[in-house]
């Protein structure tokens, strides 16, 4: 499906963006062109130099400096693009509480800009990245991402058949920018971990599985779905113990906008959620899209998907294995 296609990824120099680029390099997908759209010219330069080691692949890459807040720059970047992966966002919860307008301008207005310019340039498909914090949000970051999700879902009705956009929602990506692992690795050297709450749990997805989810949504999305992966949870304190079980702990208390546990599917979502096997799909209510998923089983009406009630929990031993396999150190 992606053969001979022009693909663009916003936030392409981030952790997920770089993993997506590398997936295209090692796969047999014969795409035509990949545009890496981001604001950081240094990261773009470093990424370009890295792929100069693979000349045939490098020839297919285009590096666009720009901001999703700028519609005119998006209009230029989207010319002749077939598929868009939207990964750009402001993501830090404490920063969102202190700088709300910046998060609104990037995460919400930026999402609208992408949709407007994608329709103008006749882009065929969009997959937008979301977060578990968009489910029943209590912080501004989660609220902006929920609003963004709603924009990408409703665009399929608002713009009609001029756009096909879906959303992928997942939890903590181990060792990505902003995750707790880099902090714990640093604190381990001082034999003292700062833990906000000993009962705190989070979903965990590998960056490889995050890329697979994007590819799945791109290939299978009909427009309007929020795809949710079935992934394990872990206790944050267990992650610290997996790194250094001899270190001491200091309990600091929950930060503004933070939850003890996260949800990816709420009780309200359950009414429109279907079990696809490896993934769940939350469908928009009152649309014809539901007819296309009739072959799949609906989840029970009292269903919810939260990190603390997850049936699949990573043990300290399993967390140690993940850290070792991926060479996180």
Stronger pLDDT, 287 or 168, i.e. the higher one: 168
- Whether residue 224 is predicted with pLDDT greater than 80 in this model: the reply is yes
Is residue 101 in a domain?
Answer: yes
Q: Which residue has the tokens 């791109």?
A: 218
Please write the tens of the pLDDT for every residue from 118-154.
999 999 999 999 999 999 999 999 999 999 999 999 9
- Whether residue 4 is predicted with pLDDT greater than 80 in this model: the reply is yes
CA–CA distances in Å: residue 63 to residues 52, 71, 76: 13, 17, 13
Neighbours of 300 (CB within 10 A): 10
Residue of 5, 60, 91, 133 marked active site: 133
What does the alpha-carbon distance between residue 245 and residue 22 come to, in Å, rounded to a whole number?
Answer: 34
Please write the tens of the pLDDT for every residue from 185-200.
899 999 999 999 999 9
Averaged pLDDT for residues 106-113: 98
- Whether residue 223 is predicted with pLDDT greater than 60 in this model: the reply is yes
Contact 205, 173 (CB under 8 A): yes
Is residue 328 in a domain?
Answer: no
133 classed as catalytic: yes
Contact 289, 225 (CB under 8 A): yes
- Confidence category of residue 326, pLDDT binned at 50, 70, 90: low
Is residue 274 in a domain?
Answer: yes
- Residue 93's domain is classified under what CATH number? 3.40.50.720
Contact 186, 153 (CB under 8 A): no
Contact 163, 202 (CB under 8 A): no
* Number of domains the chain is built from: 1
Is residue 201 in a domain?
Answer: no
Is residue 252 in a domain?
Answer: no
CA neighbor of 208 nearest in space, from 8, 5, 23, 9: 23
Range of the domain at 68: 6-172+206-231+265-303
CA 139 to chain centre: 17
Please state the φ and ψ torsions of residue 172, each to the nearest 5 degrees.
-60, 130
Is residue 250 in a domain?
Answer: no
Is residue 79 in a domain?
Answer: yes
Averaged pLDDT for residues 78-95: 95
What does the alpha-carbon distance between residue 110 and residue 57 come to, in Å, rounded to a whole number?
Answer: 29
pLDDT at 251: 93
Is residue 12 in a domain?
Answer: yes
Structure tokens at 99: 């700088």
pTM, full prediction: 0.94
């Amino acid at each position: 499906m992606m053969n001979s296609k022009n693909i663009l990824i916003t936030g392409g120099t981030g952790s997920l963006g770089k993993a997506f680029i590398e997936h295209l390099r090692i796969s047999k997908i014969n795409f035509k062109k990949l545009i890496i759209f981001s604001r950081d010219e240094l990261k773009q330069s470093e990424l370009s130099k890295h792929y100069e080691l693979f000349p045939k692949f490098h020839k297919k890459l285009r590096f666009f400096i720009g901001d999703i807040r700028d519609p005119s720059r998006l209009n230029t970047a989207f010319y002749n693009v077939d598929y868009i992966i939207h990964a750009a966002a402001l993501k830090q919860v404490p920063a969102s509480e202190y700088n709300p307008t910046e998060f609104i301008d990037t995460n919400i207005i930026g999402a609208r800009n992408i949709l407007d310019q994608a329709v103008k340039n006749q882009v065929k498909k969009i997959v937008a990245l979301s977060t578990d914090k968009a489910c029943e949000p209590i912080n501004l970051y989660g609220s902006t991402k929920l609003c963004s999700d709603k924009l990408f879902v409703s665009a399929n009705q608002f713009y009609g058949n001029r756009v096909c956009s879906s959303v992928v929602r997942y939890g903590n990506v181990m060792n990505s920018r902003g995750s707790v692992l880099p902090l714990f690795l640093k604190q381990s050297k001082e034999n003292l971990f700062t833990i906000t709450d000993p009962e705190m749990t989070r979903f965990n997805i590998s960056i490889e599985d995050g890329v697979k989810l994007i590819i799945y949504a791109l290939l299978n999305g009909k427009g309007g779905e929020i795809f949710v992966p079935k992934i394990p949870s872990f206790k944050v304190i267990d992650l610290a113990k997996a790194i250094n079980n001899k270190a001491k702990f200091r309990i600091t208390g929950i930060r503004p906008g933070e939850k003890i546990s996260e949800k990816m599917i709420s009780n309200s979502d359950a009414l429109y959620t279907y079990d696809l096997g490896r993934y769940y799909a939350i469908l928009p209510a009152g649309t014809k899209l539901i007819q296309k998923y009739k072959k799949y089983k609906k989840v029970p009406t009292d269903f919810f998907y939260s990190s603390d009630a997850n049936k699949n929990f990573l043990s300290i031993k399993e967390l140690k294995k993940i850290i070792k396999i991926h060479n996180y150190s």
